[in-house]
A and B are shown apart, each in its own frame.
Chain A
Amino acid sequence: MAVKTESNNGLAICRVDGEINISTSPDLKKTFDKLIAQKTPKIVIDLSKVTYVDSSGLATLVGILKNMRSYGGKMRLAGMSTKIKSLFEITKLDKLFEIMATEEEAIAGL
């Protein structure tokens, strides 16, 4: 898994590539811990190149959202495949996250 982050005017766009699983989710958390420590106001996580997310990955994303909300930050998820979206639906996380079809849609109005 790799994460490329692009920050501009308080908005961080994080493009994740690969699997978010039990081995890689600690690295994902570290990446976002830095952005959260800086109290980044807006984060868009582009999941269009993510092939698999396990429960530890979902929990890591929930943790990021929880930490962002603690200082009033906003976060959106974008570009997830139908298969990954169904995981969010099973775990009811689709009601917790703002999920947009594309990165552009996620950025608009954030």
Chain B
Amino acid sequence: MEKEIVIKAEGVVKKFGDRTVLNGINLDIYRGETFVIMGGSGCGKSTFLRHLIGALKPDSGRVSLLGKDLSKLQEDELDAVKKKIGMSFQSSALFDSMTVGDNVALPLKEHAKLDKSVVDIVVKMKLELVGLRGFEDLMPSQLSGGMRKRVGLARAIVMDPEIVFYDEPTAGLDPIVSGVIDKLILDLSKKLSITSVVVTHDMKSVFSIADRIAMLYEGRVLEVGTPDEIRKSKNQMVQQFVSGSPDGPIKFFQQKDDYLEQLMK
């Protein structure tokens, strides 16, 4: 059976001032897969993610989500597409003045006219899926970092999205909690047949959850492949990133001449 493309990026270019952050990205992401976008800090992966969810528009090129070219959609059409996606933020982005239950219920209250009794049941069902049933009445400040992430995840899936985007889901978490979050992403993807797009530079996480991986470097896709293909890649930049070596073709510091030139400008 032919794979269905749910996200398509074609020649996506984005500049901030005279700095080119995305330099012609082409990618296809298929329904049901867990697709990881990896790369070092500043490689453009978070900017690219913001293009995929329609929060930024490319200077040139286009992004299609569920068959719709995002740049051609009117605001109400874009809202309709956005209802089919969920977003799990790096910071969890919970409202500290609201209970866990109210945080999870927020998208439902914004987008639907459901009775409170129905919303309460949906919230319980979603919290059960992330292992936090019974925590509805707690405040976010009473939770650990990992639990906050899980609440953010419950909120991301509360509208039954077709695609969930995860921005650095394991950042700032200890290895055990990171493993719990990875397992949860996998479980939810398989159980609910969700397409998952994960932006991360946590290599352990990359290889434990990905069906396919894209490595970004300086705003371009260096390589796309299965975890096995990426591990065996002959691309030296990919190898350097996977092994976490400070020495290699990826430069972490600008050349000395540039620095001195800049001082004298």
Pairs of residues from A and B, 5 with the lowest C-beta to C-beta distance, nearest first: A59-B121, A59-B122, A22-B112, A54-B160, A59-B118
Check A26–B113 contact: CB distance below 8 A.
Answer: yes
Is A108 on the interface with B (CB-CB < 8 A)? no
B126: chain A residues within 8 A (beta carbon): 55
Residue in B closest to A89 when the chains form the complex, CB atoms: B191
A62 to B123 alpha-carbon distance, docked (Å): 13
Chain A nearest CB, measured from B230 CB (Å)? 31
Check A58–B114 contact: CB distance below 8 A.
Answer: no
Question: Could you give, for residues 176-197 of chain B, a 1 whenever the CB lies within 8 Å of some chain A CB and a 0 otherwise?
Answer: 0000000000000001100000
Is A63 on the interface with B (CB-CB < 8 A)? yes
Sampled A-B contacts (24; CB under 8 Å): A22-B111, A25-B114, A26-B115, A29-B118, A54-B160, A55-B122, A55-B125, A55-B160, A56-B114, A56-B118, A58-B121, A59-B118, A59-B119, A59-B121, A59-B122, A59-B125, A60-B118, A63-B117, A63-B121, A90-B191, A91-B125, A91-B128, A91-B129, A92-B128
Knowing A56-B122, A58-B125, A59-B125, say if A26 contacts B158 (CB, 8 Å).
no
Residue in A closest to B190 when the chains form the complex, CB atoms: A90
Count chain A residues whose beta carbon lies closer than 8 angstroms to a beta carbon of B: 16
A55 to B128 alpha-carbon distance, docked (Å): 13
A60 to B117 alpha-carbon distance, docked (Å): 9
Residue in B closest to A54 when the chains form the complex, CB atoms: B160
Knowing A22-B111, A26-B115, A55-B158, say if A62 contacts B121 (CB, 8 Å).
yes
Task: Tell which of B108, B128, B129 touches A56, judged by Cβ atoms closer than 8 Å.
Answer: B108
Other A-B pairs, 13, CB within 8 Å; known A22-B112, A62-B121, A63-B117: A22-B159, A26-B113, A55-B122, A55-B125, A55-B158, A56-B108, A56-B114, A59-B121, A59-B122, A59-B125, A60-B118, A90-B192, A91-B128
A60 to B119 alpha-carbon distance, docked (Å): 9
A91 to B128 alpha-carbon distance, docked (Å): 8
Which positions in A face B, CB cutoff 8 Å?
A: 22-23, 25-26, 29, 54-56, 58-60, 62-63, 90-92
A10 to B117 alpha-carbon distance, docked (Å): 26
A58: chain B residues within 8 A (beta carbon): 121-122, 125
Knowing A22-B111, A55-B125, A90-B191, say if A63 contacts B118 (CB, 8 Å).
yes
Question: Chain A at the B interface: mostly helix, strand, loop or mixed?
Answer: helix
Chain B nearest CB, measured from A102 CB (Å)? 27
A59: chain B residues within 8 A (beta carbon): 114, 118-119, 121-122, 125
A84 to B121 alpha-carbon distance, docked (Å): 18
Chain B nearest CB, measured from A29 CB (Å)? 6
A25 to B112 alpha-carbon distance, docked (Å): 10
A92: chain B residues within 8 A (beta carbon): 128
A62 to B118 alpha-carbon distance, docked (Å): 8
Question: Could you give, for residues 46-77 of chain B, a 1 whenever the CB lies within 8 Å of some chain A CB and a 0 otherwise?
Answer: 00000000000000000000000000000000
B125: chain A residues within 8 A (beta carbon): 55, 58-59, 91
B111: chain A residues within 8 A (beta carbon): 22
A62 to B122 alpha-carbon distance, docked (Å): 10
B113: chain A residues within 8 A (beta carbon): 26
A22 to B122 alpha-carbon distance, docked (Å): 11
Chain B nearest CB, measured from A99 CB (Å)? 17
A56: chain B residues within 8 A (beta carbon): 108, 112, 114, 118, 122
A92 to B122 alpha-carbon distance, docked (Å): 13
A59 to B114 alpha-carbon distance, docked (Å): 10
